[in-house]
């Protein structure tokens, strides 16, 4: 186990649903990340948080809304998604948002949008 | 139109063989590289890293080689085992608009190890 947990592991939702993905890290890290991994593209960085402050929004559509209430928890709120949003959503954490800090990944949430 | 999936390069080896996974990077100014391993149903896991002032670094059964002249990185796995079957990613620096730096990941190579 990497110390990063994600729930749910699998999620099926319709385009009109609202759901949330949860990530929790037990490593005492200050930085957390959301990535999208789809069959069509390499691993894509979505959002970066440092000490609960968003420091990067990598041109992600507004139907994805992140929330970081504290340095241990990260959420990704989903609403009115499209079928092309189906993918594996990975959360990661690192000690700081620095290049040479190892990122530790959770197991991901496999999302299917119908 | 029809969507085309990302076809990962695949390396198939026999158990006990040595494996070499290659990665070409794009930014000649990149000064730090990491290899990650992603097993089925799991997130990527750190394997080994290397700084640009080195051309070789060894870990346990793994060696990373860096050739800055041709912007090429390789991961060598000695005595490959079935448990090494996974997708392997190289990663290089990514500067963020905020001034922070993180990583950008390559497409990955799938390693299949037969008993």
> Using one digit for the tens of pLDDT, what is the confidence trace for A42-99?
899 999 999 888 888 878 999 999 999 999 999 999 999 999 999 999 999 999 887 7
Q: What span, in angstroms and rounded, lies between the C-alpha atoms of A79 and A18? A: 4
| Residues of chain A that touch chain B, judged by Cβ-Cβ distance less than 8 Å | 2, 4, 33, 38-43, 45, 48, 50, 55-56, 90, 92, 97-100, 102-108
* The token pair that represents A68 in the structure block: 């970081």
User: How close B31 gets to chain A, by Cα (Å)?
Assistant: 10
From chain B, the residues in CB contact with A51 under 8 A are none
Q: What span, in angstroms and rounded, lies between the C-alpha atoms of A76 and A19? A: 8
pLDDT per position as a tens digit, A17-29: 999 999 999 999 9
User: How close A85 gets to chain B, by Cα (Å)?
Assistant: 13
Q: Tell me the pLDDT of chain B averaged across its residues.
A: 90
From chain A, the residues in CB contact with B107 under 8 A are 42
pLDDT value of position B6? 54
Which of A38, A39, A103 is nearest residue B103 as measured by Cβ atoms? A103
């Amino acid at each position: 186990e990497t110390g990063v947990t994600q729930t749910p592991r699998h999620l099926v939702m319709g385009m009109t649903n609202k759901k949330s993905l949860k990530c929790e890290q037990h490593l005492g890290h200050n930085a957390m990340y959301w990535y999208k991994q789809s069959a069509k593209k390499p691993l894509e960085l979505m959002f970066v948080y440092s000490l609960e402050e968003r420091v990067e929004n990598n041109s992600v559509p507004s139907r994805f809304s992140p929330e970081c209430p504290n340095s241990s928890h990260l959420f990704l709120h989903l609403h009115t998604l499209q079928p092309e949003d189906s993918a594996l959503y990975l959360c990661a954490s690192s000690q700081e948002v620095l290049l040479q800090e190892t990122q530790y990944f959770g197991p991901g949430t496999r999302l299917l949008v119908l | 139109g029809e969507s085309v999936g990302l076809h990962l390069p695949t390396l198939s080896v026999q158990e006990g063989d040595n494996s070499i996974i290659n990665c070409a990077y794009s930014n000649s100014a990149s000064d730090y590289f990491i290899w990650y391993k992603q097993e089925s149903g799991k997130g990527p896991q750190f394997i080994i890293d290397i700084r640009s002032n080195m051309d070789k670094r060894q870990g346990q059964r793994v060696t990373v080689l860096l050739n800055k002249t041709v912007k090429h990185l390789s991961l060598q796995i000695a005595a490959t085992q079935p448990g090494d079957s996974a997708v392997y990613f190289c990663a290089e620096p990514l500067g963020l608009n905020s001034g922070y730096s993180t990583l950008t990941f390559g497409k990955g190579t799938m390693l299949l190890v037969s008993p």
